[in-house]
Amino acid sequence: MAQEIQAEEEQAFAETQVVEPSSTHFSVVGELQKIQEEHEYLPPDKLRELAREKNLSLARIYSIATFYNQFSLQPKGEHIITVCTGTACHVRGAPELLTKLKDTLSVDAGETTEDGKFTLQTVNCLGACALGPLISIDGKYYGNMTLSKLDGVMEEYGVDND
């Protein structure tokens, strides 16, 4: 599934470019994946190093890194909450779930709470549309989610919704 999403993102990226992405582009993506695997995000000093290695501008590296949802420029929280905002989940209430999480955690999608406990992010499909609306926390899926079920799930992670 991750490969399908990456392929779609690469296609979408290609469509925003005047020319097809080059082998350099794909090798940068590969390097970014390695950096993120190691650090859980893309530290600025590693991006500068990569720019030097590839003989590319730092702006070019950032433009690639920021295009793909899979990359994060911020350190991730202890728990990663992913809200699927794909069509199947959207029509079944994903926007309300996302709004509730944003309000509860006081962060926007893509941000980490001040205490470093949670990162809230969105994704276009978690690959289990029949379970929508669907969120995942640290890779564990919570399907057929409702606002009241969400309260219970967040309580498991020490968040009091009152």
In the region spanning residues 74 to 93, those forming contacts with ligand FES, defined by CB under 6 A, are 84, 86-89
Element (H, E) at 140: strand 140-142
Q: What proportions of the chain, in percent to the nearest 5, are helix, strand and coil?
A: 50, 10, 40
Q: Does 5 bind ligand FES (CB under 6 A)?
A: no
**Interface mask toward ligand FES for 103-142; x: CB under 6 A:** ----------------------xxxxx--x-x--------
Question: Which lies closer to ligand FES via its Cβ, residue 11 or residue 87?
Answer: 87
Residues at the interface with ligand FES (CB under 6 A): 84, 86-89, 125-129, 132, 134
